[in-house]
Structure 1
């Protein structure tokens, strides 16, 4: 595909609208407080269509996972699969001291009463799951790998009540020093979409200093994120230290290493598999280990159970973040690119037209005939005017086309591959169209009225948050439904006094 072009967006608007309607139907029964958020996403979509930031088959509403998502990352043999089996009370995942599963596994609730494994292409083609369209991302970073989606991921369905209303993702053992680019891309996408990220480390390998790149990816980069509070760090298989009687040394070594990578605050959990009998003769030490394990496991499971509430707030946050991205980042970037494109055109037009004029003057000065003789030999003024106009128009079209190629080439070379680059390519395709005036400074579709519409959507986010607060919090301690039923409640007494007070 040429660098200066993008594939024409498919016009699947009917299919997109059907997906959004299905989402609204689901929310109407499961979480009606979020219906207004979908409406706000629709408003933002219309703005983005006019600006060229979205194709007509895209919607910001479908880029947000509306089902709570918990991802589980960690080093090789850190006990991730064992933890999942314990949490689900099922031997769903293979376990072992060596890496036994090199695929990303999406685990969801199944209806038919039995567990089953489904190929990864089911995830790539279903917009309800977090890996929708992931094959395109894999193909982008590793040519030819996008068609091998089944080697990267799989879907497992299990009839477990703890899976109702949420999705788990188990990842292969992480090693940033020897990790494929495609695997890192999938990991980054998981982290971006997840509401909760459990990061597991293996207490049996107390040499965290030897895995600097892995810690940098799992800890340092996570701590730099605005949503770093969704990461939970777990030192698993801590029971191995009981046999050597050095748990404090192991924990201290990991804490120092994590602190060096940016984790200076927050909980650091220590657990081991409760299904494994702890072989410790000293009953006091054994009881201390079990007490700490049970307390930390209870806290982790409580956080996992609360993920649905966090998801609702995170969706509102995603809406606000996207709206601010448009007004504060993407529009200024498009403006700068458009200014660069306009300078290319004006410079090219001026240079070539000046060259034409200089050539005409040079020819006149070099000619042995007088200026009057030359003017008499020229065709009628109408013909001369038409030739000049055609020359200027053709020159401008050629310069404009060349400038457009240059600006798209600049985007490909200077901007890092990823979502932002694709957004700029889409926006500049609209801003460099033949009907886009070059003297216009602001991006196509952007005006003060458009800015006000974006700011109104950002303001709506506060309203959506307040509705969620009304559902999950009650600072007054008064149940409004109970107050409506009780005439003697303070709220109703206050209302009566207002009604009977003479005006």
Structure 2
């Protein structure tokens, strides 16, 4: 089983390396460095041998479209790719996450969720297992959550686009939220759509809380673009600025003070604007924001490489500065609690011996060697069996107490660590160190020492080098025409 799981990860990484060998040599080296980081994590127990940090990253440029029902997500996608691929309407027309990718065939194909769950090239590989861990039985219904559509258009070449079902806060399922959070984490760009035809953003409080509050403290919060769609609805009252300001206040109430709304609408379905001056003002504003959105979409192919290197660096720092120290802290508390309970157990046993002595059977007689030798053999044998049984009970109780204190501490981890990945890593490492065969008084976590620190420092050093290699493709600080060409070419076409 161990070999099979390990071989499966190797096959996935080998397939990825084969693809990147021609597509992006810089990222090929990053995969190899991920392998080195995996080795440290395996020894620490942070991830299992059938897992890899590299497989938790989307290696293709990924753009996700999130938002409320009837906010114009599907219309925007159809306009972007130049085809009527997604159904549109005022009501909820699709209740699945749709992954849209490039195809050489002119015919549009719709494939079931299994096509994504079973293919390691897509960012939803084995997502059914995550869904199953959240809601038992739902993992088998992966086709009810996901579908794959293929489309022949140059706009999708080298990219993956994800259209989400409408975000209905009153009918949210836990598994759907898990997929939404997963998408938000792995995407290079997240377009969050809101419907300007509903000028009371307070009614969308739950939606704003989930889509906005979760982005505030993220290191990559700049990848979220908040789009106020169907702004042509403000023409009759000519209150474009007022509607936008209302949504801005809602963002601020959700904690996001630095964000802004892009203001767009569909020209083909727009309300007629008779006033030439007003029409020009609206169209200019729309075009200005659409150009900026298109520019951000175009940049994801470059940002993708920086994102992946950023994940590598972040994970390495996370192991060194958060996982190892937090695991060590938990182990100290675990050892202290276990030893206190062991002491209480010892005191209890001493009390039992005292009770025996007070009953007229002096303990000293059992320890008198001469008296012991004079006793019948069957008595010696019986006492020996009872002593061995007592010792076994003591050992059993000790390991039971170890497990009990470890379980109590694990239950407290979610309250101490908000980050889901960090919590998972710490829990796994802590469990690795509290296994029955692991000595109680070890001074440091398993797999963590000078050699592990050296390997992580090497990973961080390589990360800086990869960023420099990427920078060489786009910058020339010296301004010299004879500056040396970079040795590694980044393909962003």
If the length of structure 2 is used for normalisation, what is the TM-score?
0.89
User: Which of 435, 438, 445 in structure 2 is aligned with 1:436?
Assistant: 438
User: Which of 460, 463, 470 in structure 2 is aligned with 1:461?
Assistant: 463
Which blocks of at least 5 consecutive residues in structure 1 are unaligned? 1-7, 485-503
After superposition, give the CA deviation of every residue in 1:131-171 in whole Å (9 maximum; x if it has no partner).
Answer: 22222222223222221111112111111111111111111
Q: Is the 8 A contact 1:10 1:57 kept in 2?
A: no
1:201 lines up with 2:194 in the alignment: yes
Q: Is the 8 A contact 2:413 2:423 kept in 1?
A: no
User: Per-residue deviation at 1:444?
Assistant: 1.1
Q: Is the 8 A contact 1:195 1:310 kept in 2?
A: yes
Q: Which residue of structure 1 lines up, in the alignment, with residue 402 of structure 2?
A: 403
What is the CA–CA distance in structure 1 between the aligned matches of 2:221 and 2:245, rounded to whole Å? 22
After superposition, give the CA deviation of every residue in 1:413-469 in whole Å (9 maximum; x if it has no partner).
Answer: 653695445434432332123331111121111113322322232232211111110
After superposition, give the CA deviation of every residue in 1:97-156 in whole Å (9 maximum; x if it has no partner).
Answer: 111111111111112221111111211222221222222222223222221111112111
After superposition, give the CA deviation of every residue in 1:195-222 in whole Å (9 maximum; x if it has no partner).
Answer: 1010111111111122212112222331
What is the CA–CA distance in structure 2 between the aligned matches of 1:23 and 1:368, rounded to whole Å? 74
Seen in structure 2, the aligned counterparts of structure 1 residues 243 and 213 have a Cα distance that, compared at 3 Å, is same
Q: Which residue of structure 1 lines up, in the alignment, with residue 297 of structure 2?
A: 304
What is the CA–CA distance in structure 1 between the aligned matches of 2:374 and 2:44, rounded to whole Å? 46
Moved more, 220-229 or 187-196: 220-229
User: Per-residue deviation at 1:9?
Assistant: 6.8
1:140 lines up with 2:142 in the alignment: no
Q: Is the 8 A contact 1:195 1:307 kept in 2?
A: yes
Seen in structure 2, the aligned counterparts of structure 1 residues 425 and 250 have a Cα distance that, compared at 3 Å, is closer
1:378 lines up with 2:380 in the alignment: no
What is the CA–CA distance in structure 1 between the aligned matches of 2:367 and 2:429, rounded to whole Å? 49
User: Per-residue deviation at 1:394?
Assistant: 4.8
- SS of the residue 1:243 aligns to: coil
Q: Which residue of structure 2 lines up, in the alignment, with residue 473 of structure 1?
A: 475
What is the CA–CA distance in structure 1 between the aligned matches of 2:290 and 2:345, rounded to whole Å? 73
User: Per-residue deviation at 1:359?
Assistant: 3.2
User: Per-residue deviation at 1:304?
Assistant: 0.2
Q: Is the 8 A contact 2:189 2:224 kept in 1?
A: yes
Which residues of 2 match residues 60-459 of structure 1 at below 5 A?
Answer: 60-276=53-269, 278-364=271-357, 366-367=359-360, 371=364, 375=368, 376-379=370-373, 391-392=390-391, 394-408=393-407, 410-412=409-411, 415=414, 418-459=420-461
Moved more, 474-483 or 376-385: 376-385
After superposition, give the CA deviation of every residue in 1:276-313 in whole Å (9 maximum; x if it has no partner).
Answer: 36512222222222222222111111110100111111
What is the CA–CA distance in structure 2 between the aligned matches of 1:35 and 1:369, rounded to whole Å? 75
Seen in structure 2, the aligned counterparts of structure 1 residues 473 and 258 have a Cα distance that, compared at 3 Å, is same
What is the CA–CA distance in structure 2 between the aligned matches of 1:186 and 1:45, rounded to whole Å? 25
- SS of the residue 1:306 aligns to: helix
**Alpha carbon RMSD of aligned pairs, Å?**
2.8
Q: Is the 8 A contact 2:251 2:259 kept in 1?
A: no
Count of residues in correspondence between the two structures: 477
Q: Is the 8 A contact 2:99 2:160 kept in 1?
A: yes
User: Per-residue deviation at 1:43?
Assistant: 0.9
What is the CA–CA distance in structure 1 between the aligned matches of 2:468 and 2:146, rounded to whole Å? 38
What is the CA–CA distance in structure 2 between the aligned matches of 1:176 and 1:292, rounded to whole Å? 31
User: Per-residue deviation at 1:90?
Assistant: 0.4
User: Per-residue deviation at 1:388?
Assistant: 5.6
What is the CA–CA distance in structure 2 between the aligned matches of 1:144 and 1:219, rounded to whole Å? 30
What is the CA–CA distance in structure 2 between the aligned matches of 1:390 and 1:177, rounded to whole Å? 59
What is the CA–CA distance in structure 2 between the aligned matches of 1:277 and 1:370, rounded to whole Å? 96
Runs of 4+ off more than 6 Å: 380-387, 481-484
Seen in structure 2, the aligned counterparts of structure 1 residues 332 and 84 have a Cα distance that, compared at 3 Å, is same
- SS of the residue 2:231 aligns to: coil
What is the CA–CA distance in structure 2 between the aligned matches of 1:26 and 1:251, rounded to whole Å? 44
User: Which of 46, 61, 71 in structure 2 is aligned with 1:53?
Assistant: 46
- SS of the residue 1:297 aligns to: helix
Q: Is the 8 A contact 1:320 1:458 kept in 2?
A: yes
Q: Is the 8 A contact 1:79 1:202 kept in 2?
A: yes
User: Per-residue deviation at 1:363?
Assistant: 3.0
- SS of the residue 1:440 aligns to: coil
Moved more, 86-95 or 19-28: 19-28
What is the CA–CA distance in structure 1 between the aligned matches of 2:274 and 2:355, rounded to whole Å? 104
What is the CA–CA distance in structure 1 between the aligned matches of 2:53 and 2:484, rounded to whole Å? 39
